[in-house]
Amino acid sequence: MAKRTIEDLNVKGKTVLVRVDFNVPHKNGTVTDDTRIRAALPTINYLTSHGAKVILFSHLGKIKTEEDKAKNDMSIVAEALAGLQSAPVKFVNATRGAELEDAVHGLKEGEILLMQNTRYEPGETKNDPELAKYWASLADLYVEDAFGSVHRAHASTVGVPALLPNAGGYLIAKELKYLGKALDDPARPFVAVLGGAKVSDKIGVIDNLLEKADKVIAGGAMAYTFIAAKGYGVGTSLVETDKIEDAKKFIAKGGDKLILPVDTVITDNLDNPTRIETVDCDKMPEGMMGVDIGPKTIALFTKALEGAHTVFWNGPMGVFEKEEFAAGTKGICAAVAALPDCMSVIGGGDSASAAKKFGYADKFTHISTGGGASLEYMEGKQLPGIAVLSDKA
């Protein structure tokens, strides 16, 4: 069933509490990548232009110590947001109390207030009912637009919307549209490309996509666990020995659907390579580490992608951060970019940065803003921050 969107709410003159995803990368007090702030603008602009009084709240980083608090002060985001749109942004350095309440009561239609980092409150990540009740008391309506956080049942993502009339914002609607289409109603052939650092992070996704997709391509470090499962040596490559049994099951379950690398780039040392070679995957020498797919594999994967009408990609094909080991990931970007009439979706933070870094970002139909959330969605899991939202009437 479709979820209610902000356009289904009457927001004029109402105080609207909006959970945004302002968990942005930052350094020395400056936001270094404002993608997530930009992604929230359609919702914020809709609300301000329709006469809502807008309260924005989000987490920023992990908070365990006072030092973490100082490092993850939301005021830096207020500055970045102010520069991106026309309404003034009032930052309140509090997550509760008189200063916050006065500022909320002082809001006029079309004005924006950003409160301090939600995780300054220890009750946030515990979905503390008292905290949820307090935040809900500040507003008339709740809008969820933090796709990157909807896989977590926190006070700001689940506690508050359970207590207020609610809806999903434009970013939520967009994410559900593309991820939902890929998973539930893909134009076929549907090819999934999986890679990245760990098999263990992605067991659920591999399992579900082996059922839902027409082909599953596996590269990146996770491929070496599969190569080990086939009985070959993998040298010093990142292998999860406790996942070899799962990999064997996937190989049996996947049959021809599962496409694995046939050659690999290897090196003696990731940080200071003195030897870089390419070998077939059944001939990996001891003492060398697999760090990218090889050229035969790029050709094989490109061929497997040919004719695809839906592509979901999660996880780089190699250590793309280093130019020497980036060819595989670039190759996949180029192969997907060249597909005519294809809905291509990236879910995964590092995959998204790779596509951006290599100049392919605008070639993809949709780049998800939620790494963990998009993975859990593609696993077929219910996301608590979505489940709590009201269905369309």
Known catalytic residues are 36, 198, 349, 372
Would you say 54 and 180 are in contact if contact means Cβ atoms under 8 Å apart? no
Residue 389 interface partner, choices ligand ADP, Mg ion, none, CB cut-off 5-8 Å depending on type: none
Quick one: which segment of 13-21, 64-72, 113-121, 344-352 binds Mg ion (CB under 5 A)?
344-352
> What letters, b where the CB count within 10 A reaches 16 and e where it falls short, cover 140-159?
bbbbbbbbbbbbbbbbbbbb
Quick one: which segment of 46-54, 98-106, 239-247, 346-354 binds Mg ion (CB under 5 A)?
346-354
175 is a contact residue toward Mg ion (CB under 5 A): no
The one-character DSSP state at 3 is B
- Write out the E strands in 323-390: 343-346, 366-367
Contacts with ligand ADP, 179-198, as mask; x by CB under 6 A: ----------------xxx-
Q: According to CB under 5 A, which one of 144, 292, 350, 376 is a site residue for Mg ion?
A: 350
Of 25 and 88, the one with the shorter C-beta distance to Mg ion is 25
Would you say 21 and 59 are in contact if contact means Cβ atoms under 8 Å apart? no
d(CA 156, CA 144): 9
Taking CB atoms, the residue at the shortest distance from Mg ion is: 350
Q: According to CB under 6 A, which one of 43, 297, 314, 368 is a site residue for ligand ADP?
A: 314
Of 186 and 318, the one with the shorter C-beta distance to ligand ADP is 318
276 is a contact residue toward ligand ADP (CB under 6 A): no
Of 315 and 331, the one with the shorter C-beta distance to Mg ion is 315
Residue 31, Cβ density class (10 Å: 0-12 exposed, 13-18 middle, ≥19 buried): buried
Cβ 319 to ligand ADP, closest distance in Å?
4
Token pair listed for 238: 């990142």
Beta-bridged to residue 54, according to DSSP, are: 16, 112
Cα distances (angstroms) measured from residue 358 to each of 292, 324, 327, 351, 363 = 16, 14, 10, 11, 11
Size of the site for Mg ion (CB under 5 A): 2
Identity of the residue numbered 117:
N
Cβ 142 to Mg ion, closest distance in Å?
29
Cβ 328 to ligand ADP, closest distance in Å?
8
Residue found under tokens 């369309």: 392
Residue found under tokens 């359609």: 42
Would you say 15 and 100 are in contact if contact means Cβ atoms under 8 Å apart? no
349 is a contact residue toward Mg ion (CB under 5 A): yes
Element (H, E) at 141: strand 141-144
- How crowded is residue 126: how many other Cβ atoms within 10 Å of its Cβ? 13
Cβ 349 to Mg ion, closest distance in Å?
5
331 is a contact residue toward ligand ADP (CB under 6 A): no
238 is a contact residue toward ligand ADP (CB under 6 A): yes
Residues 37-56 that bind ligand ADP (CB under 6 A): none
Contacts with ligand ADP, 193-232, as mask; x by CB under 6 A: --xxx---x------------------xx-----------
349 is a contact residue toward ligand ADP (CB under 6 A): yes
Query: Checking phi first, is residue 340 left (phi over 0); if not, alpha (psi -120 to 50) or beta?
Result: beta
Residue found under tokens 């990931």: 329
351 is a contact residue toward ligand ADP (CB under 6 A): yes
Residue 221 interface partner, choices ligand ADP, Mg ion, none, CB cut-off 5-8 Å depending on type: ligand ADP
Residue 291 interface partner, choices ligand ADP, Mg ion, none, CB cut-off 5-8 Å depending on type: ligand ADP
- Closest residue by Cα to residue 27 from 76, 92, 63, 81: 76
Residue 370 interface partner, choices ligand ADP, Mg ion, none, CB cut-off 5-8 Å depending on type: none
Residue found under tokens 């991106």: 84
Of 17 and 234, the one with the shorter C-beta distance to ligand ADP is 234
What sign does the CA torsion over 371, 376, 378, 384 have? negative
**Residues in touch with ligand ADP (CB under 6 A):** 195-197, 201, 220-221, 238, 290-291, 314-316, 318-319, 321, 348-351, 371
